[in-house]
Structure 1
């Protein structure tokens, strides 16, 4: 697990193509996120290849962070990479002083919904016809543990 670098752009674009059938991030969006001070892009490597990525967004003045995306290469699924990316995303949001992490997930993505529920996320709403194919999105949120600051 590491922070993504600009040189990961090609691999991130390939991952988007492999992981999602619709609502993919474009190369331009990925490039912008890699450079944005309000975004944290994390990647997981397996066997020397990019196996997954997560994008966390923050806004100034907000106590919330948003998990914008988690993508796992279909060939790497079933090895806990999604769970590791989620934990890293939570740590990144907490390190940036955020109290909670919110996300949207396709209502028909049973695996992802189970992942979020198992990780302690609770439902906070639903967006009807949120995705391009008119599938609903479920909204989830989790309170984050703040990093411990050593006493001086």
Structure 2
């Protein structure tokens, strides 16, 4: 892949079945454990309780993804996963995905968006805090590999 220009406009849309190969490839590149499988992505694409978002630039170039869960009767949405291609990091892709996730949560009348993040993922923590998320708890041994997580939340207005 050629590097993404710093000025490229990032567009976020709902994922489609045609994105499945890209979603699975990015998941495998981004995470060593706690990965979503092809079958899980496929199920989430058609689910009323999930929204799979993809970010692109320059005519459908796949840059990243976010998966948001919605629970019936809850006013909190959950950002389950967010990932960007390495060459797209620091260029607004994560921010665009988070803004789209927040928009979808508001559209579904949620008052907050929650997420978990590895305690050692400092770049993601900086992004979340810069965008108004606050640490509201800790989960010991949260991830498959035994790593701890911080729980963050943003109140949506």
Aligned residues: 145
Aligned to 1:148: none
Distance 2:64 2:24 in 1: 11
Q: CA deviation at 1:114?
A: 0.7
Aligned to 2:68: 56
Aligned to 1:102: 114
Alignment gaps of 5+ in structure 1: 146-152
Distance 2:126 2:24 in 1: 26
Distance 1:85 1:104 in 2: 16
Aligned to 1:143: 155
Q: Residues 106-142 of structure 1, C-alpha deviation per residue, up to 9 Å, x if partnerless?
A: 1110000111111111111111011111110100111
TM-score computed with the length of structure 2 as normaliser = 0.89
> Aligned to 1:57, what secondary structure does the other structure show?
strand
Aligned to 1:85: 97
Equivalent of 1:123 in 108, 130, 135? 135
Distance 1:119 1:90 in 2: 11
> Aligned to 2:152, what secondary structure does the other structure show?
strand
Distance 2:105 2:141 in 1: 28
Q: Is 1:29 aligned to 2:78, yes or no?
A: no
Aligned to 2:6: none
Q: Residues 88-122 of structure 1, C-alpha deviation per residue, up to 9 Å, x if partnerless?
A: 11011001110000100111100001111111111
Aligned to 1:149: none
Q: Residues 11-40 of structure 1, C-alpha deviation per residue, up to 9 Å, x if partnerless?
A: 100111122222211111111111111111
Deviation beyond 4 Å, 4+ runs, structure 1:
none
Distance 1:76 1:114 in 2: 16
Question: Is the 8 Å Cα contact of residues 3 and 42 (structure 1) preserved in structure 2?
Answer: yes
